[in-house]
Amino acid sequence: MSEKGQEDANESASKAAVKPETPGSGRGRHRTMLVRYGKMNLLGQFRHHEREISPTTKYVVVQTERGMEIGEIISTFCHHRGNCTLSNEMIDAYCQASGPNYPFNRQGRFVRFANEQDLNEQRHLDMDVREKVRFCEQLIQESQLLMRLVTAEHLFGGDRIIYYFTADGRVDFRELVKKLAHEYQTRIEMRQIGARDEARLIADFETCGRQCCCKSFLKVLLPVNMRMAKLQKATLDPSKISGRCGRLKCCLRYEDQVYNELNKNMPPSNSWVRTEHGLGQVIEKQVLTQLVKLRLDTGRIIALNVEEILERNCPAPEGLPIEPDQDVPEEMELKTGFKPQPTSEPTGDEVEQETPKKRRRRKKRRKKESGGSSNAAGAGQEGQQQNKSVNDAGASSD
């Protein structure tokens, strides 16, 4: 082999031996930042070419699909290199865990860091939003449109004004858009939202004392149903389990998965189980504490941990002396050592064992007796009044 061919072979071998660059090496990796922007707190990942980022830098100007906007940096940085400390794999895992409809934007671009002049211009646009909302509401009343305006958003640079409104159905707002565009000489966008998005825009704090979840971090508002509230033993009062939007609180969904997993360990309600105390029927369950309340075949009521159940789905014993509608003295024996004192009630021959049918007959008989006595008393009073009137008439004639 010639000397030139040997050099080419060595060069190709050295190139093949070079290892590919890892994402964390800083070379061949795009510098990115996570930015929150817009009135709906949208989230996006934007590329940049800044080698150093000051620790005091907080706001940036970005170009999104909506136009030029000012956003807030929410990702952490290695400030001397300008690299985001969050890898793309971590960001993808977060978006995937948040659901397929998670609104995450990767199509925009970084323009520059926002200076004081940019921030003052954005504050001026935000102050004029109230006047724009009042003018739009006046046009809605004049046009007699069945819609309710919530708020408005004026993008940085004045490229676009977005109006958020609620309505029961579709609204023909074409004439309204023409009047607004003629007034402000910019692009107008009307966006219809629901009750939960309305709370995201204008709500502040909830009954827990914290800022509303939909306003602070929730991006995808998943459905919440009454089954979650019942499973968590929450109060069913609508005023206590409803949020600022008038719907069920989103936080009922946070622990739903844990409650479902714990509920799988619990026996079904009204089923019969076998314990060291004997057969018992499940009458109440505490999912979080894993306690069950049982009515034994002897009539005694106890509470014990689900791990103390020896056998589940047992057949119901035959010839039970206790009926479902019959009142049974309760005796709770909790593992905490608390035992309520039994009530002093007559037993044996002093109390006649009544069935529900006899009890209903006795109540009906009492109602008849009380009604008859009241009628008789009324009739007697009426007769006395008639006799008195007759005597008064005779005295006056004399």
Residues 6+ apart with CB under 8 A from 356: 323, 325, 326
The dihedral formed by the CA atoms of 136, 142, 148 and 152, expressed in degrees to the nearest 10: 0
Residue 188 has pLDDT above 60, yes or no: yes
* pLDDT range class, residue 237, cuts 50, 70, 90: confident
Place of tokens 């970084």: 110
Q: In what order do the strands lie in the sheet with 278-286?
A: 301-305, 291-296, 278-286, 272-275, 311-314
Query: What pLDDT score does 273 carry?
Result: 93
Residue 100 has pLDDT above 50, yes or no: yes
Rounded-to-integer distance, Cα 195 and Cα 248, Å: 11
Rounded-to-integer distance, Cα 192 and Cα 5, Å: 71
Rounded-to-integer distance, Cα 24 and Cα 141, Å: 58
Beta strands 187-192 and 160-166 are parallel
pLDDT per residue over 262-314, tens digit each?
999 999 999 999 999 999 999 999 998 999 999 998 889 999 999 999 999 89
pLDDT per residue over 31-83, tens digit each?
888 899 988 888 898 988 887 777 788 899 999 989 899 999 888 766 556 66
Place of tokens 């009343």: 141
Rounded-to-integer distance, Cα 351 and Cα 232, Å: 41
Query: What pLDDT score does 344 carry?
Result: 41
Rounded-to-integer distance, Cα 110 and Cα 98, Å: 25
| pTM for the structure as a whole | 0.62
Rounded-to-integer distance, Cα 147 and Cα 170, Å: 9
What is the largest distance, in Å, between two alpha-carbon atoms of the chain? 163
Query: Which structural domains are found in the chain, ordered by start?
Result: 28-114 (no CATH), 121-193 (3.30.300), 200-260 (no CATH), 267-341 (2.30.30)
Q: Decide which of 219 and 257 is more confident.
A: 257
Cα dist from 284 to 78, 118, 235, 267, 303, whole Å: 55, 62, 16, 10, 9
* pLDDT range class, residue 202, cuts 50, 70, 90: confident
Q: SS3 for 182?
A: helix
Average pLDDT over residues 14-41: 60
Least confident interval from 113-122, 178-187, 359-368: 359-368
Q: In what order do the strands lie in the sheet with 42-48?
A: 104-105, 42-48, 31-37, 68-73, 59-63, 109-113
Strand partners, 36: 43, 72
Residues 6+ apart with CB under 8 A from 170: none
Query: What pLDDT score does 162 carry?
Result: 95
Rounded-to-integer distance, Cα 103 and Cα 261, Å: 29
Total residue count of the chain as it appears in this document: 398
Q: Closest by alpha carbon to 200, among 225, 164, 238?
A: 164
Place of tokens 């290695």: 78
Rounded-to-integer distance, Cα 1 and Cα 7, Å: 10
pLDDT per residue over 360-382, tens digit each?
777 777 777 776 555 544 555 55
**Contact predicate 282/273, CB 8 Å:** yes
Residues 6+ apart with CB under 8 A from 247: 195, 196, 224
Strand partners, 48: 31
Q: Read out DSSP for 259-309?
A: HHHHHTTSPPTT-EEEETTEEEEEEEEETTTTEEEEEETTS-EEEEEGGG-
